[in-house]
Amino acid sequence: MTRVLITGFAPFGGERVNPSWQAASLVAAEPPAGLTVTAVELPCAFGDSLDALRDAVRTAAPDLVLCLGQAGGRPGVTVERVAINVDDARIPDNNGRQPVDEPVVPDGPAAHFATLPVKACVAAMRAAGVPAAVSNTAGTFVCNHVAYGLGHLIATEFPHVRGGFAHVPWAPEQVTDGQAPALPPATVAHGLRALLTAAARTPAGQDLKVTEGATH
């Protein structure tokens, strides 16, 4: 059995729900065959989120870690290729902190790449009927903070773990104008099960050799 840790965030920015945690909970409640899944909700806060993530990795002792965050406006699940070593918050986090141009990890490398097979993960979700894409930016808010922090934990403390980050769209209940893209958390969870299965079956260091680049 492959041990998986999946995380989502608490609601932020005045929202009542966070679809990343909704989807993570659903995956843990009904995991894919061959995987045991532990779900942990992270605080949407700089610093505290990484403390909680480190504790969760130590407790769950996972083989794979998938952290999730909300990306309102994106039409599908986006698997992040890279996270950068900068916090530059457009809005305050849930603790009222709003760092500007601060490193996630002082003296850390400029970026960490995901160690999950991002292209195989995207292909698996599409095959499951869930819109998905590779993303080359995780933003500069708490999502990127956690994505980078996870990469740094893997590089420095947990080299046997593979991990990455994915953004999920708004849940339908969050869309008030009837126009912004949204996906039900159950649909997202269905795609994430396919993602995790693909990640578990793909040997470390390998991925699909297909085009998923962007011109801008």
Residues recognised as catalytic: 80, 143, 167
Q: Which two tokens stand for residue 187?
A: 């649909």
Between the CA of residue 189 and those of 61, 104, 125, 185, what are the distances in Å? 22, 29, 10, 6
Question: In angstroms, rounded to a whole number, what is the distance separating the alpha carbons of residues 103 and 89?
Answer: 12
Q: Which two tokens stand for residue 70?
A: 């909300």
Q: Which two tokens stand for residue 193?
A: 């099960």
Write the DSSP string, 89-136.
-SS--TTS----SB-SSTT--SEEE-SS-HHHHHHHHHHTT--EEEES
- CB-based contact 197:32 (threshold 8 Å): yes
Choose among 60, 82, 64: nearest CA to 214. 82
